[in-house]
Structure 1
């Protein structure tokens, strides 16, 4: 039985952890995850999805603010694990920690060397990629730069967004890890170096990237909206205030970028630099998230054809 320390934070990582716990070939000694954080408008303290899984299995849990040089790192190294498995952990692992085990691998949600960094699923959608995938790679000090152990991919559907694609790729990553890890540990599966000439990066989305530029094409804006749903959420301006847009669909129409082209009780179509978008789920400033018909019959009842978003 392979003794493992698991490190991860979001639901993507929790799915991978559950796979390891259900497989009799592995013994998860402990879990390392990010500290509990205050979230939402009410700033309620919330534990990570990985911590929730660990608690349900009575696993030891470590939550260092920074693992490097911490007492938690010393305690982890004393557990006697054979290896470390990480998945969307959110911290770099010190070289000393990596060298304390026989192996350290990461489940990364991209087809490396494409999209190294913290937001690979967001970028795959925003850039209109046809496929997304997962790579199992060796851990090194440089971000997502280790040799590749295995990879697998799935098509990106028109209906996909960050949330749905995270869920799908979590299952891909779980199954890929369980298939490849035994052969890697035994030495039968030899990792392949990444092609440095093909490297691209997917840094965490910056606030300014969340804002929609209506001069872009409808397809580019459609990809941006779904590439930020359900987080961090794209937005524009409406009557000088932030107006969040959660879901849209491509629509027929031709008009000025940001201009309202069609307005009925159930439909709001806005022009772009090329084509048009039908807004589906929105959130005006100071209001809850709502379907477009609720907006048009409430806070947006004064919206008229010819009005403009983004101003």
Structure 2
């Protein structure tokens, strides 16, 4: 039986772990990030992968930092045949990369060499890509630079956002790994070097990237907002306070108003000018200190003073 150490943290990783377990691989340990405070009340919460591992009765290791840690020595002592990572969130030290006889492989949510880094799904949607996918790859010391084993692509639909694509790609990753692992175990897998001339990066989203750039085209603004939904969420400023924007569509109105100005008030939305003369219709939002709400509720309540010509920054 092939022995595995699995490393992952968010919901994306859960179906992958479950598949490895259900397919009969010997899971020696599950390595994930430490429990973190969540929400306004800062409730200490386990990562989704830890919750799944405990439900499956698997031992859990939670290093704050893997390199140079006691937990690293604990993992090495397990002597797994293979280490499998999926959105673990830490770089693996060379000592671990070199240890397993079948290597260390990663389930990465992009079609490498495009979108190396920690936010490949977000960035693909923000950039208006029409497809993305999953790459199973050997891990190397350089970020997401290892040889490709297998890939599978799926379309990014017009209505998709980061949340829906995370769900779709976690299933693609699970199925692709299910098909790929036997090839690795039997030594029959391909090993394709990445084309360095085609490399792009998708670093973790910065706070500055979350601010809506109204001077961009309507389609770019639409892609930015859905690429940041449901986390970390795009925002704009209105009358000196930040407002999260949860759901929009490209409006039907054309305008010569300044980007960011309110152009039209509808029953269930309000339209904001963008840089190409089209509008973005805001459908759901969250004013500072308030709950997420529909534009219709906002216009009837706290936003009833919103007027044509008001400026979002």
Quickly name the TM-score band, shorter chain normalised: over 0.9
Aligned to 1:187: 187
**Which segments of structure 1 move beyond 4 Å, counting only runs of 4 or more?**
none
SS at match of 1:252: strand
Question: 1:31 maps to what in 2?
Answer: 30
Q: How far apart, CA to CA, are the structure 1 residues paired with 2:83 and 2:150?
A: 17
Deviations 1:104-156 (A, max 9, x none): 10000000000000000001000000001000000111110000000001000
The Cα offsets for residues 192-249 of structure 1, whole Å up to 9 and x where unpaired, read as 0000111110000110111011111110000000000011110111111101101101
Distance 1:107 1:228 in 2: 22
Q: Give the aligned partner of residue 243 of structure 1.
A: 243
Distance apart, 1:175 and its partner CA: 0.5
- Number of the residue aligned with 2:265: 263
- Within 2, Cα distance between the matches of 1:27 and 1:268? 55
Aligned match of 2:79: 80
Deviation of 1:71 after TM superposition, in Å, equals 0.9
TM-score, length of structure 1 as denominator length: 0.97
Equivalent residue, structure 2, for 1:157? 157
Q: What secondary structure sits across from 1:121 in the alignment?
A: helix
Of 125-134 and 267-276, more deviation after overlay is shown by 267-276
Q: How does 1:159-238 map to 2 (within 5 A)?
A: 159-238=159-238
The reply on whether 1:45 has 2:48 as its aligned counterpart is no
Q: Contact conserved, 1:265 with 1:297, CA < 8 A, in 2?
A: no
Decide which moves more: 47-56 or 251-260: 251-260
Shift of 1:254: 2.2
The whole-number CA distance in structure 1 between the counterparts of 2:190 and 2:238 is 55
State whether residues 268 and 294 of structure 2, in contact with CA within 8 Å, keep that contact through their aligned partners in structure 1: no
Corresponding residue of 1:294: 297
Q: Quick one: distance in 1 between partners of 2:143 and 2:55?
A: 31
Tell me how far apart the structure 1 counterparts of residues 289 and 66 of structure 2 sit (CA, whole Å).
39
Paired residue secondary structure (2:159): coil
User: Where does structure 2 lack aligned partners over 5 or more consecutive residues?
Assistant: none
The runs of 5 or more residues in structure 1 that have no matched partner are: none
- 1:118-157 matches, within 5 Å, as 118-157=118-157
Cα RMSD, aligned residues only? 0.9
Using the TM superposition, give the Cα deviation of residue 41 of structure 1 relative to its aligned residue in structure 2, in angstroms.
Answer: 1.6
| Residue range with higher mean Cα deviation, 261-270 or 138-147 | 261-270
Partner of residue 109, structure 2: 109
Displacement after TM superposition at 1:73 (Å): 1.0
| Count of residue pairs the alignment pairs up | 309
